[in-house]
Amino acid sequence: MGFKKKDILDMESLSVDEIKYILNMTDKMKEISGRSIKKVPTLRGKTVVLFFYEPSTRTRTSFDIAAKRLSADSISLSGSSSSIVKGETLVDTAKNIEAMNADVIVLRHSCAGAASMLAQRLKVSVINAGDGMHAHPTQALLDIMTVVEKKGRIDGLKIAIIGDIAHSRVARSDCVGFTKMGANVVVAGPPTMIPRGIEVIGASVAKNIDEAIKDADVIMALRLQTERQGSFLFSTLREYSKAFGITKKRFESAKEDVFIMHPGPVNRGLEIAPEVADSLHSVILDQVENGVAVRMALLLLTAGGVWNVDSD
Ligand code: CP
């Protein structure tokens, strides 16, 4: 199959075949990053605009690196440095970028649905780099890639996602993506941070964190999304860490071959103990490495580049 999608907005709108197609392309892109000269001419003459209304280290940098490795021109725009601060709307700003003949807009925004709204209004491709509490599809794709790479498969694995599920776009996209690929996803966290109806997107809710961790092949810890929590949802950070953190003791109760994941940024000693984050079982930096390859694949597929092994 070819890849025909104009936009990458969420995991719900990607079929299993499309996910496999992206992963296959990601493998090819990863090989480029291992070369001494990490650059191919595939997207020469294409323009990628990185429009980030929220802070980001991994997503923004990896999209920038991905564009440059494919020889696209990438331009970064932040909410505070754009004419948004003078009252221009998101749509008007994006239409102006489109008028400059950009090929792809990568958008991170605090409002759920922002990327979908732009995708409907623009001819240019839109990639959602995280919209509010809704979706983070490129993170889900790199997480799927990492699990497949480390475990050799994803079908039938138990994946435990622990922490602030309710406010996490990563949790939502991962639940949808992992279950689409055949994994058994179990979530655990404080009752105030487990969204009602999470089962609809394929996850089951464990009675407690120890039940979620038991027999898990992969444990993913999530950061407390305090910027999206309206009020304190737990008494103290210390209490939260004790009750819901991936402590050394909990890690030692997990399967011998468990892998530890975290989408970042990591708050050491809060949702995950430093010894766990730095253990040989941790694949947190592998996730980051795969993020570049996944984003190269997505830029290539949406910007209409043709992958030619011989010429590249
Ligand atoms: N995982 C993730 O989205 O990290 P950033 O916020 O640093 O991009």
Is the peptide bond between 265 and the residue preceding it cis, with omega within 30 degrees of 0? Answer: yes
Mean pLDDT over residues 22-27, rounded? 96
- Buried residues in 230-262 as b, exposed as e (16+ CB within 10 A): eeebbeeeeebbeebbbbeebbeebeeebbbbb
Task: Identify the residues whose C-beta falls under 6 Å from ligand 1.
Answer: 56-60, 130, 139, 263-265
Q: For residue 181, is pLDDT > 70? A: yes
Q: What is the average per-residue pLDDT within 260-283?
A: 97
Superfamily (CATH H level) for 138-284: Aspartate/ornithine carbamoyltransferase (3.40.50.1370)
Nearest residue CA, atom 6 of ligand 1?
56
Contact (Cβ atoms closer than 8 angstroms) between residue 38 and residue 65: no
pLDDT tops 90 at residue 120: yes
User: Has residue 311 got a pLDDT over 60?
Assistant: no
User: With 60 as the cut, is the pLDDT of residue 193 above it?
Assistant: yes
User: Which residue has its alpha carbon closest to ligand 1 atom 4?
Assistant: 58
Q: Is pLDDT at 47 greater than 80 in this prediction?
A: yes
pLDDT at residue 228 greater than cutoff 80:
no
Count of CA atoms in the C-beta half-sphere (13 A) of 80:
2
Of 139, 227, 283, which is best to mutate to test ligand 1, by the most ligand atoms within 8 angstroms of its C-beta? 139
- The average confidence (pLDDT) of the chain is 94
The domains of the chain are located at 16-136+288-303, 138-284
Predicted local distance difference test score (pLDDT) of residue 231: 67
Calculate mean pLDDT across residues 247-261. 97
Compute, in angstroms, the gap from residue 109 CA to the centroid of ligand 1. 12
**CATH class for the region spanning 16-136+288-303:** alpha beta
Tell me how far apart the alpha carbons of residues 95 and 90 are, in angstroms, rounded to a whole number.
9
What is each CA distance from 83 to 78, 149, 153, 288, in whole angstroms?
A: 10, 42, 46, 31
Q: Please give the biggest Cα pair distance in the chain.
A: 59
Q: Which residue has the higher pLDDT, 254 or 197?
A: 254
In the predicted model, what is the mean pLDDT of residues 55-65? 97
User: How high is the pLDDT of residue 307?
Assistant: 73
121-160 pLDDT tens trace: 999 999 999 999 999 999 999 999 999 999 999 999 999 9
E-strand spans in 62-200?
73-78, 104-109, 125-131, 158-162, 184-188
Q: Which tens digit of pLDDT belongs to each residue from 77-115?
A: 998 888 888 999 999 999 999 999 999 999 999 999 999
Same fold, 16-136+288-303 and 138-284: yes
Pocket probe mutation, ligand 1, options 58, 60, 161, max atoms within 8 Å of Cβ: 58
